[in-house]
Amino acid sequence: MRSVFLIAVIGLCFSGVASAQFRVGVTGGEKGSIPVAVLELYAEQSGSSQHARDLTKIMRQNLSKSGAFEVVDPTAYPQQAADFLENPDWRVWRESPAQALVVGSVSVNESDIEVKYFLYQPRSKQRREAQRARLPLNQWRGLAHFISDRIHLKFAGMDGHFGSQILFIAEDGSATQRVKRLAMMDQDGHNIRYLSDGRNIVVTPRFSPDGREITYTEISNGRVQVILKHLVTGQQEVLETAQGTSTFSPRFSPDGRGIVYSLALNGNTDIYYMDLQTRGRERVTRAPSAETSPSISPDGRLVAFESDRSGSQQIYVLNRQTGQVRRISVQDRARYATPVWSPNGDWIAFTRIKDGEFSIGVMRPDGTTEQILATGYVVESPTWSPNGSALAFARQERQTGDGSVKTRIYAVDVFSRQEWMLPTTSEASDPAWSPRVARN
């Protein structure tokens, strides 16, 4: 289990947000980014110098990828950490473009690493937070993500996603001998660990709301089935065992009590809900068409899914109480797939295929305000960050020369539209972002 131990609060922590507000919204990408100065941490002993540099680098990288912040060029900082901690010169900092200031120190011993950090608004000299945090030395990157999340909360007024994790499918081998392993990594692509051995094909992994379990589709001996796996114990089980069935595209309900998935039975594919306590299943859709990729809204009332009931692949929303179904994808000549609700239920992310081009976008639950965030040869499988500020997705790109295709995971900030690739060691697909409380 990864956790940050806050062993002392050494200053005042204010709950209000900074005067430079981040305007949260997707439409038009309207925002006001906060200029932030992240001073290189002061190394309290010579043996902690490299960790001071590395922790600072990760914090700057995290914040630079967020539409909420603009990291001020370090060469423009009027003071370094040692000088500031001894005698802060507020006059020169008021002339700096920085509206947020991060400063602190790091110390390392044989087993632990500790950071003392301070968050300031330099123009008003207001201290937003001061804390001391410690982790086992082999989890040192977690400190940078923890502090980045605190910076995001204190200055942007919303939780960060830097301490989260991403499930994905690691792919190796040729197109005819593909090996797919279930894997997990930190949100910046580091600390990759494998959860399956590649003997069976695995796709579409998803976290439970508490981050303790995952579900995914496994193809074994020609059979397609949904698996439930506990991350701490490693125990797993097949959720649907009826003969003659195939189950796929599983996703947890927001309360974690059940799973919604597609089940192919007697030549027809519909969406079902399974209660994880009783293992009883409930049929959600009843149509002669194929329904798949279900996603339940955060309040549990609605189910978004894709269906070909109109003759082409489109997105529909079903009211679980009334049974009413409404098509929400309306673009002419376009097909839509993989709908997924945002954490607060305000948006639905999707994959769109129009005129031969793939896109990742978002729309309101009623189908209005469609926004395209990323395009490419093939882009698919969007997944929301836990704070709803970014989407991760899979991108296939044609390679020059031999015509082969490479698949990688990218992320895009929904406000700034900035994209970045996650540095996996192999090809990667089917990302699934964790909730903020994910454990392993």
pLDDT tens, position by position, 240-262: 776 777 889 999 999 999 999 99
DSSP structure string for 251-293: EE-TTSSEEEEEEEETTEEEEEEEETTT--EEE----SS-EEE
Length, in residues, of the chain: 440
**18 Cβ contact partners less than 8 Å away, ≥ 6 residues apart:** 34, 99, 100, 121, 128, 154, 155, 156, 157
DSSP annotation of 341 reads E
Of the candidates 303, 308, 307, the one whose C-alpha atom is nearest the C-alpha of residue 319 is 303
Query: Under CATH, to which class is 165-433 assigned?
Result: mainly beta
pLDDT over 70 (residue 6): no
Strands of 193-194's sheet in order across: 193-194, 179-186, 165-172, 427-433
Q: What is the pTM of this model?
A: 0.90
**Residue 327 or residue 440, greater confidence:** 327
Q: How many helices (H) and strands (E) does the chain have?
A: 4, 31
Inter-CA distances, 410 with 8, 100, 337, Å: 37, 28, 18
The answer for residues whose C-beta is within 8 angstroms of residue 432's C-beta and 6 or more apart is 166, 167, 168, 204, 205, 206, 207, 214, 383
Q: Determine the straight-line distance between the first and last CA of the chain, rounded to whole angstroms.
A: 5
User: CA 154, CA 117: separation in Å to the nearest integer?
Assistant: 13
Q: One-letter amino acid identity for 98? A: A
Measure the CA–CA gap between 116 and 81, rounded to whole angstroms.
12
130: tokens are: 């001061």
* pLDDT higher than threshold 60 for residue 206: yes
CB atoms within 10 A of CB 8: 12
Q: Tell me, what's the pLDDT at 185?
A: 96
Angle subtended at Cα 85 by Cα 81 and Cα 91, rounded to the nearest 5 degrees? 90
Residue 13 has pLDDT above 60, yes or no: no
The rounded distance, in Å, linking the Cα atoms of 255 and 241 is 24
**Nearest Cα to Cα of residue 307 among 318, 319, 296, 320:** 318
Higher-confidence residue of 332 and 284: namely: 284
Q: Identify the pLDDT of residue 26.
A: 54
According to DSSP, the residues that pair with 269 across neighbouring strands are 264
Percent of the chain with pLDDT over 90: 80
Per-residue pLDDT of 325-338, as tens digits, reads 999 998 889 999 99
pLDDT value at position 400?
Answer: 61
pLDDT, mean over the chain: 89
Q: What is the pLDDT of residues 158-196, one digit of tens each?
A: 999 999 999 999 998 877 788 999 999 999 999 999 999
How many whole angstroms separate alpha carbon 196 and alpha carbon 188?
21
Distance CA 186, CA 174 (A): 27
pLDDT greater than 90 at residue 23: no
pLDDT bucket at 72, cuts 50 / 70 / 90: very high
State the average pLDDT over residues 424-428.
92
Query: In this predicted model, which residue has the larger pLDDT, 23 or 229?
Result: 229
* Residue 60 to residue 72: CA distance in whole angstroms: 9
Q: Residue 375 pLDDT more than 60? A: yes
Asked whether the predicted pLDDT for residue 353 surpasses 90, the reply is yes
Q: Report residue 401's pLDDT band, with 50, 70 and 90 as the boundaries.
A: low
Domain boundaries, the chain: 5-156, 165-433
- Alpha-carbon distances, residue 254 vs 85, 125, 296, 349, 365 (angstroms): 45, 42, 7, 16, 17
Q: Is residue 41's pLDDT more than 90?
A: yes
The CATH superfamily of 5-156 is: TolB, N-terminal domain (3.40.50.10070)
Above 50 in pLDDT, residue 14?
no
Q: Is 362 helix (H, G, I), strand (E, B) or coil?
A: strand
232 burial via Cβ count (<10 Å: 0-12, 13-18, 19+) = exposed
* pLDDT of 440 above 90: no
Query: Looking at residue 67, what is its pLDDT?
Result: 87
* Structure tokens belonging to residue 261: 């998935």
- pLDDT category at 24 given cuts 50, 70, 90 is very low
Percent of the chain's residues with pLDDT above 70: 90
Mean pLDDT of 24-36: 63
CA-nearest of 147, 105, 155, 153 to 126 is 155
